[in-house]
Structure 1
Amino acid sequence: MQLSATTDYGIRIVLYLIKNNEIISSGVLAEQLEIPKTYVLKVTKKLELANIVTSYQGVNGGIGLAGDPAQITLWDVISAVESTTVINKCMEQENEYDVKAEDYCKLRKVYGLLQQAVEDRLQSIKLIDLT
């Protein structure tokens, strides 16, 4: 699995919010993290849908953490932002490839074990420990 630049931005945004522990405007996030504001808005929308961040409207509005920062894992952010988190196409569910996956993907069991190991490890990494 190769993480996208968008996911990198998501991780950086959440780390910044954890470190500063306050509501921060998207403009400030863009400036401080040197991320285009359009990307900040795109990424924070995905993070908001995953209940990692919350957006606040008004004069003192901005982006803040939605819950306890000590509970946010690296996996939470990656799975919120990445379009897919599977390590191989034959691991994807609900597609025509999956119907014959056992025929075409002889390593499915190995990939499954590897997928679970990656997910478990990423779930064990709390972002607060990286700040």
Structure 2
Amino acid sequence: MLIFSKSTQYAVRALSYLVKHQDEAPCRGEIIAKEEGIPKHFLSKLLQQLVQAKILKSTKGPNGGFSLAKDPKEVSLFQVMNVFEDLETFFETCAIGDRRCSEKEPCPLHQDYNDIRQNIREYLLTSNLETLVEVEDLKSPVAGKQWAC
């Protein structure tokens, strides 16, 4: 089963929150942490990593906080997750850990797993922050709920 790290999970949730509030003033990390149920010190480090990756921008001062550095349509889930995961290694690693596994010497799961990996890769490359929020809004029991940054 494919499971991403807590860092990736929390970062995606924080970015989703910021997309929903992109028309407001920058959001303080404490508010994002509270609303998303993420430990604030951990989130602070993740937000700084996203700033370094130029996905977010940080504004200092009393009205400061975090905001998107780009249009949500321009940020793929692959870009976000690659900040916290080594996705290239994931997409090159054998499902059963056989180091000899390759196109020339495939393991028993090679072809099926390769197809799955390619589907996941394509999804992450073509899905962006905006599509993530659209899907989340369809599932949300509290759609339309407003939070203040």
1:61 partner letter? G
Instruction: Tell me, yes or no, if structure 1 residue 18 matches structure 2 residue 19.
Output: yes
TM-score (norm 2): 0.69
- Report percent identity of matched pairs: 30
Instruction: Tell me, yes or no, if structure 1 residue 42 matches structure 2 residue 45.
Output: yes
Question: Which moved further from structure 2: 54-63 or 107-116?
Answer: 107-116
**Structure 1 or 2: more helix by fraction:** 1
Q: CA 1:50/1:112 → structure 2, altered by over 3 Å: closer, same or farther?
A: farther
Q: Deviations over 1:74-114 (max 9, x none)?
A: 212111122x2214646xxxxxxxxxx5xx22338746665
Question: In structure 2, what is the equivalent of residue 107 of structure 1?
Answer: 106
Instruction: Tell me, yes or no, if structure 1 residue 56 matches structure 2 residue 59.
Output: yes
Secondary structure at 1:14 match in 2: helix
Please give the root-mean-square deviation of Cα atoms over the aligned residues, in Å. Answer: 2.6
- Which consecutive residues of structure 2, in runs of 5 or more, have no partner in the other structure? 134-149
Question: Which moved further from structure 2: 105-114 or 54-63?
Answer: 105-114
Q: CA 1:44/1:12 → structure 2, altered by over 3 Å: closer, same or farther?
A: same
Q: CA 1:37/1:115 → structure 2, altered by over 3 Å: closer, same or farther?
A: same
Q: Is the CA contact (8 Å cut-off) linking 1:70 and 1:127 kept in structure 2? A: yes
Question: In structure 2, what is the equivalent of residue 124 of structure 1?
Answer: 126
Distance 1:69 1:77 in 2: 11
TM-score (norm 1): 0.77
Question: Which moved further from structure 2: 113-122 or 18-27?
Answer: 113-122
Distance 1:54 1:12 in 2: 17
- Which consecutive residues of structure 1, in runs of 5 or more, have no partner in the other structure? 91-100
